[in-house]
Structure 1
């Protein structure tokens, strides 16, 4: 594909707040579950796909859950119902959260995801072995041949990156006239080879030279051996789709992949650059309430305000 002009691309700055919030699911935890929300969404998605569940239904469940979680965190359907909400009330809360972040979304896709938000998680299923490996496999950070690695800590893992790209790709797909399901599958499958191939980044890939493609192919097949033949074939087809940017689905995927890689780095830099003025005034760390004047007086007294 020829280089696309900026004006020709169906992405814009209005996407960044939503994609940033979704990326932060890599860093969102709660007491009742192990791993980040993103890590658990990756496991839930692959458990459902490996069990032969419909890929479209899996995409809708994972992406709608992620959109609601951008604002509600781990207050998902199951937790809300455990805490006393009816199924209908829980669905209303989740849809309200989704609506808060839905600004840039394609209206038809948004409506489809809004309908799915109250359906609950896919049925639990045994997880392929690569799921746990990818959750333990950290991303390389920023690497460049001939230069030392720039470590980003805490590091995201490959399960978190993969599901973030899958979610982004599904959401961006309509703008590229792409199938959201195919774009989602490409995202969730694109780093299966990393289950058995530790990530040494761009630097390591260049050092492998002519051996790189073979190493990746063998490592991917090791992961695919955890799947039934039909599901493995689906994953191979999803990965084959993204060897270039010749199709709408590939362009949606590659847009999602590069955005996640850069936004992940940006969040580390953003946190480092935050000032107390931003935290107290823009984010209202000490927010309005009956004791705010007292809180402000305490902070002024010790020199923090």
Structure 2
């Protein structure tokens, strides 16, 4: 495991309210990368691609702390740039320095949402994002988790609340991992450990379809053995040294008495609730929000003509 963070804030069960309240809007924007796709991605979301990329680098022997910070920097920059990442900017003709400047401009829009130490770490990682990422093979469970839908909100004894499209477990695990890195400093946790736990906390769902809390209750006494068996199978796909790092972290899924556990659980519950709120916002979306609040017909050289067309057509 990586070394503990130097500033042990949010210890002894304390919830760092100011840090969480400041970070929440940024987490919501980052979560939208679950729904951003681009050409050449095989239909995978930006979140799923980052999830598989992270596992591929970890299996290759990459340092979890460095991967955690780099992927978090990519996520924060992507909150506004969406699918425009460093390699895309380079393929568009920008130099490495120019690409980093664009990424830094995007990162700077969220400076007030992050702990200064975390913000500094992410800025230092930006030069790595201007290079083509490692695209080696990820463990088999990573692809399975990206194909396995999340159950959404379920409650024992009640019908499931279905929302479309569902997120995948790759989406969710990536979001929890990245949120955990952003919150690590507030809880005094090691970013690399929180990142690993976030990526790995649903390994069993690479085989077990997700029926949510209601399904788990119905599995009853079989649930612990099923989860343990499937988790061991997934860990067997990892190099021994990496599995030895991941396995003890998974025990923290049932605890909230260490900095890493608290940062992880904060990230996990926030992602679950923010995902539900996304569906609620999408269901309540109106054209006026796009036209007025988001300035859909934005100022440009021909915006006057655009507005005249809309007025004439009666669609303004």
Structure 1 position 242, deviation (Å)? 3.0
- Are the equivalent residues in 1 in contact too, given 2:180–2:266 (CA < 8 A)? yes
Q: What's 1:285 paired with?
A: 296
| Residue aligning to 1:170 | 181
Aligned partners of 1:43 and 1:131 also within 8 Å? yes
The offset of 1:20, in angstroms, is 0.9
SS of residue in 2 equivalent to 1:118: helix
1:294 to partner: Cα distance: 2.9
1:67 aligns with 2:76: yes
The answer (yes or no) to whether the contact 2:187–2:262 under 8 Å persists in 1 is: yes
| Counterpart Cα distance in 2 of 1:166 and 1:85 | 30
Query: What corresponds to 1:30 in structure 2?
Result: 38
Query: What is the aligned counterpart of 2:214 among 184, 194, 203?
Result: 203
Question: Which residue in 1 is equivalent to 2:230?
Answer: 219
1:39 is matched with 48
Residue among 80, 84, 89 paired with 1:80: 89
The farther-off stretch of 265-274 and 10-19 is 10-19
Q: CA deviation at 1:58?
A: 1.0
How far apart, in 2, do the equivalents of 1:48 and 1:3 lie?
A: 33
Listed one character per residue, the Cα deviations across residues 199-225 of structure 1 (whole Å, up to 9, x for unaligned) are 000110000111111111111111111
CA contact (8 A) 2:58 2:64 kept: yes
Q: Within 1, Cα distance between the matches of 2:165 and 2:244?
A: 34
> Is 1:52 equivalent to 2:87 in the alignment?
no
For the structure 1 residues 56 and 122, does the alpha-carbon distance in structure 2 shift closer, same or farther, using more than 3 Å as the test?
farther
Q: Which residue of 1 aligns with 2:196?
A: 185
Q: Gaps spanning 5+ residues in structure 1: where?
A: none
- Asked if 2 retains the 8 angstrom alpha-carbon contact of 1:158 and 1:191, the reply is yes
Q: Which residue of 2 aligns with 1:103?
A: 112
* Alignment: residue pair count: 303
What is the aligned counterpart of 1:296 among 277, 296, 307? 307
* Normalised TM-score (structure 1): 0.94
SS at match of 2:229: helix
Shift of 1:271: 1.2
Deviation at residue 3 of structure 1 after TM alignment: 11
Q: Measure the CA separation in 1 of the matches of 2:133 and 2:256.
A: 31
Alpha-carbon shift at residue 13 of structure 1 (Å): 3.2
Computed over aligned residues only, the root mean square deviation of the Cα atoms, in angstroms, reads 1.8
Match of 2:261 among 250, 258, 283: 250
C-alpha contact (below 8 Å) 1:10/1:176 kept by paired residues: no
Work out which of the residue numbers 81, 94, 97 in structure 1 matches 2:103.
94
Where in structure 2 are there 5+ consecutive unaligned residues?
1-10
Q: 1:196, 1:222 within 8 Å by CA — same for their partners in 2?
A: no
Write out per-residue CA displacement over residues 67-101 of structure 1, whole angstroms, 9 at most, x where no aligned residue: 11111122212111111111111111111111112
CA contact (8 A) 1:94 1:118 kept: no
Closer/same/farther in 2, CA of residues 101 and 161 from structure 1, 3 Å limit? same
Q: 1:299 to 1:122 in 2, by over 3 A?
A: closer
SS of 2:135's partner is coil
- Name the structure 1 match of 2:122: 113
TM-score, structure 2 as length reference? 0.91
